[in-house]
Structure 1
Amino acid sequence: MEFSIQELAKAAGTTSRTLRHYDAKGLLAPSRTGGNGYRYYDQDGLVRLQRILLLRELGLGLAAIADVLDGQQNTAGALRTHLELLEQEQQRIGRQIESVRTTLRATEEGGSLMPHEALDGFDHTRFEQEVTERWGREAYEKGDRWWRSLNDTEKRDFQQQHLDIARDYAQALRDGEPADGEHALSIAARHREWLEITVAVTKDYFVGLGEMYVADSRFTDVYDQHGAGTAEFVRDAMRAYADRNLA
């Protein structure tokens, strides 16, 4: 059985132009080209396109996908790996769905909402690449093992500690406290203690983390939800604390 380029593109929810682009990049050659110039794909091509789309879903660029496909000669083994990753993502999305349902009920019915209820499924694993690139694979795996070892109460307490710290930073900013003042530095000290539950905090780490809170909008949003400018205030307080207390 074989499929025309139009049939394959329609089934994949993409365009013939995209499939021709994949061919130009060496990712997906047709099994044959008809006398009329139309491209046709057999089952091997169908499976290869599935793998390309799966890798795109994981955030890989075309050059990286080419490297992966070239290095994985065992198609069945590669598909098993893809399946495991998809199942993990399915579980995470399921947790997100339940979190949103819980938040919706609390919003509509006026109930209380704890951080672990609203944030389940939105956990640290989404920052795996950044953590690995900045501090090494060992740092990510150590933190990941630690997080997974916690029970629900411990996870809730850990998240609540950070929420309290973020709120205190925001309140200090609203009160007009300087970022290098004693009150802000005392919050930064608590921040350091919170971080040291999972990692050895050095000056470079503490300062770099503060910079990331401002440079990355996802982190900025976590702090600025408590008040505009909070992320910058946190960064400045962390740097001032590091200059005084970390070698």
Structure 2
Amino acid sequence: MEWTIQQLADSAGVTSRTLRHYDEIGLLPPARVGHNGYRFYDADSVARLQRILLLRELGLSLPVIAEVLDREHDADRALHTHLRLLEDERARLDERIRTLRHTLDARAGVDGSLQMMLEGFNDPYRDEVVSRWGERAFAVSNQWWHGKSLREQREWKRDTDDLIACWIAARKDGCAPDSGRAQAVAARHVAWLRAIPGTPLADGDRERSIAMIGGLGRMYVEDERFAAAYGGPEHAAFVRDSLDEYVRRTL
């Protein structure tokens, strides 16, 4: 079967001018050109146009689309690529749906914040988590986090704030890292980490758990963002030393 350029344009929801442009840049040549100069398209042309339109919807530029299609000589590989792109798009849409639901919760009176309502559109911690703990740690923990309602996220953050407040109070009261009080807070801190899916603690990996706790303790001191959250470098060093002592005694 063959279709004229107008028939294909009408069926695909694009303009004939768009199809002529795709032909001019070599992205979608017609199956044949009649003696009168009319373009005709066959089933392979339709399949290629479907791929082009999908990749356009995903935000790829025409030169990039041409490169992708030129590499896809194997039909099965092309279909798997098509499926992967659709799954990636679905995951992005799922994140936006959750975020918009959070926004609606906030508008309905549930306590929320602008940063939390925007999560899913631009997670600011992805690169840092992946570089330290790997892609899986980010993917699993991110799925867990975004699976929470806005109220559950707020409750979790309040618990985190309370944990940090306990660390600061213990340091201000002059507790030593090996004191019973400091070790109790350290145990709570480790339990807090264990509750986050994707972490070595949640996975039960002893060696990587030890490395993670030690690495986090050092990061609390060396990274000024975390040091400030714990009340300054001296307080952060207290947290680090207390966690190191907990690891030595317990793990």
Q: TM-score, normalised by structure 1?
A: 0.51
Do 1:2 and 1:41's aligned partners in 2 also have CA atoms closer than 8 Å?
yes
Distance 1:160 1:36, change over 3 A: farther
Aligned to 2:136: 145
Return the alpha-carbon distance in structure 1 between the equivalents of residues 228 and 79 of structure 2.
Answer: 43
Say what the alpha-carbon RMSD is for the aligned residues: 4.0
Q: Quote how far apart the aligned CAs of 1:43 are.
A: 0.4
Aligned to 1:113: 112
Aligned to 1:189: 224
Q: Percent identity?
A: 46
Return the alpha-carbon distance in structure 2 between the equivalents of residues 23 and 141 of structure 1.
Answer: 47
Aligned to 1:197: none
- Counterpart mapping for 1:163-174 below 5 A: none
Unaligned runs of 5+ in 2: 162-220, 230-251
The Cα offsets for residues 188-216 of structure 1, whole Å up to 9 and x where unpaired, read as 8116899xxxxxxxxxxxxxxxxxxxxxx
Q: Quote how far apart the aligned CAs of 1:120 are.
A: 5.0
Aligned to 2:202: none
Q: Is residue 82 of structure 2 the alignment partner of residue 82 of structure 1?
A: yes
Q: Quote how far apart the aligned CAs of 1:116 are.
A: 8.7
Structure 1 window deviating more from structure 2 (147-156 vs 34-43): it is 147-156
Aligned to 2:185: none
Q: Is residue 10 of structure 2 the alignment partner of residue 19 of structure 1?
A: no
Instruction: Report the AA paired with residue 152 of structure 1.
Output: W
Q: Is residue 23 of structure 2 the alignment partner of residue 33 of structure 1?
A: no
Return the alpha-carbon distance in structure 1 between the equivalents of residues 132 and 78 of structure 2.
Answer: 22
Q: Quote how far apart the aligned CAs of 1:73 are.
A: 0.3
Aligned to 1:219: none
Q: Is residue 123 of structure 2 the alignment partner of residue 102 of structure 1?
A: no
Do 1:33 and 1:39's aligned partners in 2 also have CA atoms closer than 8 Å?
yes
Unaligned runs of 5+ in 1: 165-185, 195-247
Do 2:58 and 2:89's aligned partners in 1 also have CA atoms closer than 8 Å?
no
Return the alpha-carbon distance in structure 2 between the equivalents of residues 192 and 3 of structure 1.
Answer: 66
Distance 1:27 1:85, change over 3 A: same
Distance 1:51 1:153, change over 3 A: closer
Which structure's CA Rg is the greater one? 2
Q: TM-score, normalised by structure 2?
A: 0.51
SS at match of 1:111: coil
Distance 1:57 1:98, change over 3 A: same
Return the alpha-carbon distance in structure 2 between the equivalents of residues 78 and 160 of structure 1.
Answer: 43
Distance 1:68 1:192, change over 3 A: farther
Do 1:106 and 1:113's aligned partners in 2 also have CA atoms closer than 8 Å?
yes
Instruction: Report the AA paired with residue 51 of structure 1.
Output: R
Aligned to 1:68: 68
